[in-house]
């Protein structure tokens, strides 16, 4: 067999194998989300690899009462995925030399009255190892010694970079999104979002009710609005190392000391800055789940294959049973990891 024929044969074999894998992936996810159940999937799934879309589907409604079908550009409240945005903005200030990670935050927020302001650092706020539960109360443990997932810590980070930059957190974030060409991602105070879907929660009697508190969260910790297209763009910029200095990005992706959480879905999980860093089924994954009233979301990235997996759902069927709440999300991740390790 000459070299030309050998090349064509190998090319055809690779093409057919890739096609079969993609077809099988679609079949498995389609079967999962289309199965008859009283708790049907209602959201968007977007999977890409090396910049190419591998799977995309919308299923259900953006407005359950009016039966308005979900669309590609529909926007969701993304919950704790927001922490990635905040972490980048903080570390960009660090790259500019405007703040230090390991000095007490009293330097940046001198109005804080509690003594923990003289010991807690930005590093500890980023890694949830500070122990702050309320601004007017002592920490629940010695800062830096334990992990406790925190929303208030990221709100403090937003306040710090407002001081160091001289700009509002909303404006800083919007400038970053513009740079990343993310046209459908917004701080909730920037009221330019036009395609925000309604969020719903199942209550005790089985009735699905519209949530009117979806945006009542610290924006820096869980209140941003985005869609699958923009989050895919974000992953390209974020994990592509286009937003931070190389050394700073390495810190963000490093498992930090004592930043280990018994995650309600994934078990023992390590944290970097704004993301989890975990190896499940032998496959390294970065990312975060997001949860807020009426919204159940996730955004994960597999660096070895440059694979993005985004699931955005706007119905919370099990507000008190978090594993069931993320059923579709975790099952999709299992399918993806099985393909990546094969």
CA-wise closest residue to 81 among 203, 235, 210, 303: 235
What per-residue confidence (pLDDT) applies to 19?
41
pLDDT bracket for residue 206 (50, 70, 90): confident
pTM of the model: 0.91
Distance CA 101, CA 124 (A): 8
What per-residue confidence (pLDDT) applies to 190?
93
Mean of all residue pLDDT scores within the chain: 93
For the stretch 298-325, pLDDT in tens is: 999 999 999 999 999 999 999 999 999 9
Asked if residue 328 has pLDDT above 90, the reply is yes
Going by the DSSP 8-state scheme, the letter that residue 96 receives in this structure is T
Q: What is the DSSP string of 178-237?
A: HHTT-TT-B-TTSTT---BPPPEEE-TTS-EEE-S-TT-S-IIIII-EE-HHHHHHHHHH
CA-wise closest residue to 243 among 91, 97, 99, 100: 91
For the stretch 9-61, pLDDT in tens is: 344 333 334 444 556 899 999 999 999 998 999 999 999 999 999 999 999 99
What per-residue confidence (pLDDT) applies to 20?
41
Query: Mean per-residue pLDDT for 105-116?
Result: 97
pLDDT bracket for residue 2 (50, 70, 90): low
What per-residue confidence (pLDDT) applies to 116?
98
What per-residue confidence (pLDDT) applies to 204?
85
Q: Dihedrals φ, ψ of 329, to 5°?
A: -60, -50
């Amino acid at each position: 067999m000459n070299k030309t024929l050998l090349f064509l044969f190998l090319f055809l074999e690779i093409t057919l194998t890739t096609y079969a894998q993609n077809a099988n992936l679609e079949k498995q996810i389609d079967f999962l989300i289309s199965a008859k159940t009283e708790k049907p999937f209602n959201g968007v799934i977007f999977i890409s690899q090396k910049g190419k879309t591998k799977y995309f589907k919308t299923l259900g409604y953006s407005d359950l009462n009016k039966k308005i079908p979900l669309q590609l550009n529909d926007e969701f409240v993304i919950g704790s995925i927001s922490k990635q945005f905040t972490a980048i903005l903080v570390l960009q200030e660090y790259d500019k030399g405007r703040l230090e990670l390991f000095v007490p935050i009293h330097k940046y927020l001198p109005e804080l009255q509690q003594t923990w302001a003289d010991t807690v650092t930005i590093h500890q706020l980023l890694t949830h190892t500070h122990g702050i539960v309320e601004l007017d109360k002592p920490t629940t443990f010695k800062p830096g010694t334990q992990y406790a997932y925190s929303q208030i810590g990221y709100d403090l980070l937003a306040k710090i970079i407002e001081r160091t930059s001289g700009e509002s957190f909303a404006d800083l974030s919007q400038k970053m999104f513009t740079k990343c060409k993310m046209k459908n991602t917004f701080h909730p105070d920037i009221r330019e979002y036009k395609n925000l879907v309604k969020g719903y929660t199942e209550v005790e009697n089985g009735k699905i009710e519209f949530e009117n508190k979806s945006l009542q969260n610290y924006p820096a910790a869980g209140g941003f609005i985005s869609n699958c297209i923009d989050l895919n763009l974000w992953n390209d910029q974020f994990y592509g190392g286009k937003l931070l200095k190389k050394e700073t990005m390495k810190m963000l992706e490093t498992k930090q000391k004592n930043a280990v959480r018994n995650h309600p879905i994934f078990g023992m999980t390590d944290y970097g800055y704004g993301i989890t860093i975990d190896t499940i089924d032998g496959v390294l994954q970065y990312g975060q789940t997001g949860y807020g009233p009426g919204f159940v979301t996730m955004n994960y990235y597999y660096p070895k294959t440059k694979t993005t997996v985004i699931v955005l759902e706007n119905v919370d069927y099990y507000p008190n049973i978090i594993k069931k709440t993320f059923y579709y999300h975790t099952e999709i991740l299992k399918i993806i990891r099985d393909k990546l390790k094969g």
